[in-house]
Structure 1
Amino acid sequence: MRKFVALLLAMLAALYGATCPLSAAPARQSPVVLAAASLQESMNAAADAWARKGHPRPRVSFAASSALARQIASGAPADVFVSADEPWMDDIQNKGLVRKGTRVSFLRNDLVLVAPRNSNVRLRIGRNMPLVQALGNGRLAIADPAGVPAGIYGKQALTRLGVWPSVQGRLAPGDSVRGALALVSRGAAPLGIVYATDARADPGVRVVGIFPAASHDPVSYPVTTLAASRNPEGEAFRRYLLSSEGKAIFRRFGFGTK
């Protein structure tokens, strides 16, 4: 009888061990990615491609780089940050919030002047261009030049071209570059300054002209893994963005790569 009981217990233990492993591997968690508003279509495409490889799809939040940097500085939980300029990445790096050795500048963009698709406005971008006259009774849509990268680049360009003093009182500032784009797309502003990739993403606008590269700082996108990240999927996704396959996704949406 004792042998039978012992055998039965051994069989039950083996069955339990097969169906209920004592040390099951923990499920992988989706990394949290904070990305500049101008990356919406391209970053979502990259996240989808990463998920198709069997990884948990990153949870991506988009906003102005300035707003995202402030969220990170306030302790918002995130694994990866992609900024639309270097200064906001400098800001969080100077606060010790960037993981050492993970910051890389990998994308480029152009700055353009856009009008509603059906607008017939024509304007050659150059020094002392008649921008105010082209606005008519309207305002120039632009991301907030006080802190949002697209607005900062826009102010630089208008200043170096000699037209900022005449137009600074005629602005319709948005909280992000996509906010400025939306104003033009729906006809609420006759002209706006956005990135070339934004204009490409919205059929409601057309490009009037491209601002000379020398008129503003280079539009550069750095990416980093954040120092507080504890999810290895975050660093893995950052590496994927920098891979040849990852960069090809961004080129498909009109970005230049480094």
Structure 2
Amino acid sequence: MKSRTYYEILGVSRDASIEEITIAKNALAKVYHPDANVHKDIDTTAFMQEILEAYQTLSDPEKRKDYDAQFFGNPEPVERVFKTFKLEPEEKTAESVSFVTYWNAYSSLNEILEKSLQLMNREEKKKSMPKRLLGKLGRAEHENTYRNRQIAKMAREAVQYITLLKMAEIPMEFWNDEAMNWVLVRWGQKPGNDYIALFNRYRVQIERMKSASEKKKLHNKNRQFHHDLKKLLSYALEG
């Protein structure tokens, strides 16, 4: 099996910035750190070492330049599609993309959703205030317009990540931390694994291992996520 590049290990594009590389490393480290998996009977030490090795090379401009020259030569630059990853439809399919890319997409989507909810909650509080009080606050209408534009921008960015996850054919029932992290850890043990098969294994485990109350709690959490996501997407055409 062809070994993965450092970019594939971190799930970032070839032209990712040092900031993007650092964010990817930190996010993966939270999931793959051996201390986080001591009770899961899974040894993630090897992949954690790969993550750190990839980061140490790609975060150093000189080492990264040498690495790129050794493994890629001097290819023509490719236009980026997403912030932390890029796809080349004519050369890659969903099956050939590192699962870390999809995990990063979900993580970014979740982060956008959390930030947008804070802004949307502020807007709803403002709407519930008496008009006379809003007038005293001053510039209320201007602030609401600016806030709506911020949310609309987040919504359009969220669409990109949603598109990627749907292209990967990852069912929305698995768009949650528990499922994505469960698959990520096991995919990292053997990157050639079919991640869809791993999600199916996760579904079976949920049915066998979780109690009825735990299943209901997970279902309600997923439903709330989808509700909040739909609410965010309603702003996509504004601004």
TM-score interval (norm. to shorter): under 0.3
Higher helix proportion = 2
Instruction: Answer with 1 or 2: which has the greater Rg.
Output: 1
Higher strand proportion = 1
The two structures have a TM-score, normalised by structure 1, of 0.27
The two structures have a TM-score, normalised by structure 2, of 0.28
Which structure's relative contact order is higher, taking Cα pairs within 8 Å and 6+ residues apart?
1
